[in-house]
Chain A
Amino acid sequence: MTGGRGERAWWAYAVLWAADAGASLPRLEGVEPKSRVEVVREGELAALVSQVPLDEYGDGPLRRRLEDIGWLERTARVHESVIEGALSVASLLPLRLCTIYRGREALRELMSGRREALTAALARIDGCQEWGVKGFATGDGAPASAGSDLGCSERPGARYLALRRREREAAAQTRESRAAGVREIHDRLSALSRAAVANPPQRRELHGRPQAMVLNGAYLVPRQGDAAFSRAVAELAREHRGAGIELELTGPWPPYNFVAVPQRVAA
């Protein structure tokens, strides 16, 4: 759509304190093969960017590439790995995929225009990382206990109904205790976090496990609290296994879930 041959644009990854964007930043490769991740500074803020060709990353071409699932996966992984690479030395605000500027100047203007919101967001996540805790329902479909004590072998219909009722009751009980367990897990982990959010569970097709997801929590944890947090997850996993909940810890992540800044509509 836009951009003649050879024109460049800048793919942005994250915003961080300029003071953190020094020599300690690891050398990182950008979404375009062989492109170097560079720093754009504006006052006390800085952004991590890398060059992309505009004829491939303009509105039209980019939309088409986003329809290519292979491209999306590669790009998402690189975007994430760049941010993760910088996470080792800095607190940062991860940007959503496909935040692209025609020039470094446009990005500098944006950083100075949104300075207050960006510095406030950085202050909120300062010294923290995000951990993900997912819960999966195990032991669904309540075991059909032998049913020998149901008697009435000469009335198979009644026996069947009694068996089904018992199954339903047991399943309802499992659901209830599991729901209570999930709430308790989320509450206890939230208490160890600076901020916490329970996201909608991922669909089975997406997470790829046979069990249903019952918790999809994200927790903003100060770095010095990491060990205590993962210990708590381990404890909770043990405590709630009996209630049919299996826990999975992921991270540390850049604080994707905790960087919302008020949107401002572009003029």
Chain B
Amino acid sequence: MSGEPLERLGEAQVAPRGPTGGGVAPSSLADILERVLDKGIVIAGDIQINLLDIELLTIKLRLLVASVDRAREMGIDWWESDPSLSSAAGRLEQENRTLRERLERLEEAAGLPAPRPGEESRRS
């Protein structure tokens, strides 16, 4: 089952990001939260937490995961205290950087106009 190697497919990002065990990158937090908060079977428990309340939380979370760099500027560095989280954050950061660089190369090559406000790349 899990852990079955997935091919790397040309330029396509077909990465085993899901819960594949053993040595593979952890699933993205976005994918996990989307499932455990929003999907999954709902049966009545004794402790009734209305998960609609968590909408507030996911908004906060969206802000947090928007940019590791920016969050760090704001002093929100909760993941750094936990090695398992910081490795995930580090990986994300690396991935972001790679993607940003790729995007810039593409924009340059294609002669695209400057990024719109809010789309600037965040150089560290």
Contacts and interface: CB of A to CB of B under 8 A. Distances in A.
A259 interface: yes
Interface size class of A (residues with CB under 8 A): 35 or more
A12 B39 CA distance: 15
A264 B41 CA distance: 12
A209 to B, nearest CB: 6
Interface residues of B, number: 71
A88 B1 contact: yes
A199 B34 contact: yes
B74 interface: no
Contacts of B96: 208
A250 B18 contact: yes
Contact of B47 (A96, A98, A202, A230): A98
B37 A70 contact: no
A162 interface: no
Nearest to B15: A248
Contacts of A230: 6-7, 14
A149 B15 CA distance: 42
B78 A70 contact: yes
A114 B44 CA distance: 10
B113 A144 contact: yes
A210 B100 contact: yes
Chain A contact residues: over half helix, strand or loop, or mixed?
A: mixed
Nearest to A209: B99
A59 B82 contact: no
Contacts of B27: 80, 250
Interface in B38-82: 39-49, 51, 53-54, 57-58, 60-66, 78-79, 81-82
B26 A249 contact: no
B35 interface: yes
A67 B57 CA distance: 6
A230 B2 CA distance: 13
Nearest to A258: B39
Nearest to B109: A143
B30 A66 contact: no
B73 to A, nearest CB: 16
Interface stretch (A99-107, A152-160, A175-183): A99-107
Interface string B78-91: 11011011000000
Interface string B91-116: 01001100110010010001111000
Contact of A247 (B12, B58, B62): B12
A76 B37 contact: yes
A94 B19 contact: no
Contacts of B82: 70, 74
A106 B46 CA distance: 8
Q: Which 3 A-B pairs have the closest CB atoms?
A: A237-B12, A251-B18, A256-B39
